[in-house]
Homo-oligomer: A and B are copies of this chain.
Amino acid sequence: MSNKKPNTPKGTRDFGPAESAKRNHIISSIKAHFLNYGFSQIETPAMENLSVLMGKYGEEGDKLLFKILNSGDYLQKVSQEDFEQGSQHVLPSIAEKGLRYDLTVPFARFVVQNRNDLAFPFRRFQIQPVWRADKPQKGRYREFYQCDADIIGTKGVFSEVELTRLIQDVFKSLGYPNYLIKINHRELLFGLAQWCGLATKEIQFCTALDKLDKIGHEKVTEELNNLGADAEKLVQLFDLLGQDWNNMQKLEGIEALLPENPGIETVKTYFRYLKDSGENVSLDLSLARGLNYYTGIIFEVVAQDVKIGSICGGGRYDDLTGVFGLPDVSGIGISFGLDRIYDVLEEKGLFPDSLKVSAQALITHFDEKSFVHGMDLLSELRANQIPAMLFPDLAKINKQFNYANKIDIPYVIVIGEEEVKTRVYTVKQMKTGQQHSLALSELIKLLKAE
């Protein structure tokens, strides 16, 4: 045998039966809620034309795109002069396609391409892998799933409420209560920047403020001072941010500073619509994300008891498709991070024990005759929607039991001469060791109960 085992490419993973079952558990839950909220599924190809992808994720993003080599004699159009100019220059001649980097740009492309067939508001969800040539590290992969939901073609803040409730429903059904939905509004952030004397430096203001959790208010103050902020106002600002207030008090606090800010009214309406379903939602005036893209309320969901970064995020944008020549498509979207949610549920032990990795029952046998009888029993169980297997070869009964143990089959049914005659079957629950002798209808009842 060769010593060199074949491997998955760096930063990519296989998912075996147990991991697939757990991933499916999360995906099914998210998908069920997407459907319950009236989102329609779309799927886009793994590859997109590079003309669609390039320039959409910044210079760094362009580098992290996986590019697909053109088929056939791909160097055909590359001259000696081209070659001498190096990789960057040659690229457009040898690669026309790339792997999708996220689900948003393909969605935007989809909307433009199908704009005459879509009815707005359009609610789409999309659950597919994306690829990034990032340096792999713990919790960061080159292939990972995104689960996105967007509502486009409506500006009402009701959509923000929809997505908030969707997030709440998803984590509730996953049995994880310790999430926190942080929200903020770009206008509030920009308003605060201007109020501090940092008009024209809004983005730098936000970047600094966003580090509050990590580096503390003194260091952030220092950074903002260096940017040229009004020192006195900074004191006022951090005084406000440091208060242990509820959402309404925070809103009133910031309204006192920015009475005319349009974000105030939006966030007020948002909380009014949420009413008593505002659990785990917190206005966090230091939250800043994607501010080149988002234009209204922004979301970030964190696990409060697991160190892992955000597990879901999103926000409102007012120009999804302008880069593709279709202006004024506004909307709001969120993206669940499957891998991080997986890690949270794993760390907290929240995956149900009942997740099925293989069959519910294994039928074992002593000889050809009981094996053949087993086939009939097998069909009966499956016809009753009980996932079942028959050990496929004649083998010692111990070997058959060991097999059931190894692949976590909860029940083993034994068929011998007696069982063939009486049709009363011995069934053993592997976890408890309990045994029963049951006729078919009783057996079906027992196996379906779990």
Contacts and interface: CB of A to CB of B under 8 A. Distances in A.
B37 A389 contact: yes
Interface string A1-27: 111111111001111110011011000
Interface string A337-358: 0000000000000000000111
B392 A357 contact: no
Interface in A119-139: 119, 121, 123-124, 129, 131, 133
A8 B114 contact: no
A233 to B, nearest CB: 37
Contacts of A49: 6-9
A42 B15 contact: yes
B393 A155 contact: yes
Contacts of A371: 158
A38 interface: yes
Contacts of A91: 69
A71 interface: yes
Interface in A432-449: none
A41 B68 contact: no
Interface string A46-83: 11110110000000000110111101111110001001
A143 B382 contact: no
Given A6-B324, A63-B71, A41 B17 contact: yes
A45 interface: yes
Nearest to A277: B379
Interface centre among A6, A123, A387, A407 (most CB of B within 10 A): A6
A113 B375 contact: no
A392 B154 contact: yes
B382 A14 contact: no
Contacts of A123: 358, 389
A110 interface: yes
B388 A38 contact: yes
The dominant DSSP class at the A interface is mixed
A97 B42 contact: no
Contact of A6 (B16, B38, B113, B358): B113
A40 interface: yes
B87 A76 contact: yes
A348 B86 CA distance: 55
A90 interface: yes
Interface string A376-393: 000100100111111011
A43 interface: yes
Interface in A310-353: 324-327
Interface string A148-160: 0001001110110
Interface of A: 1-9, 12-17, 20-21, 23-24, 35-49, 51-52, 63-64, 66-69, 71-76, 80, 83, 86-87, 90-91, 94-97, 99, 109-110, 112-114, 117, 119, 121, 123-124, 129, 131, 133, 143, 151, 154-156, 158-159, 161-162, 165, 169, 273, 277, 324-327, 356-359, 362, 371-372, 375, 379, 382, 385-390, 392-394, 403, 406-407
Nearest 5 CB-CB pairings of A with B: A2-B325, A38-B359, A17-B40, A12-B45, A38-B389
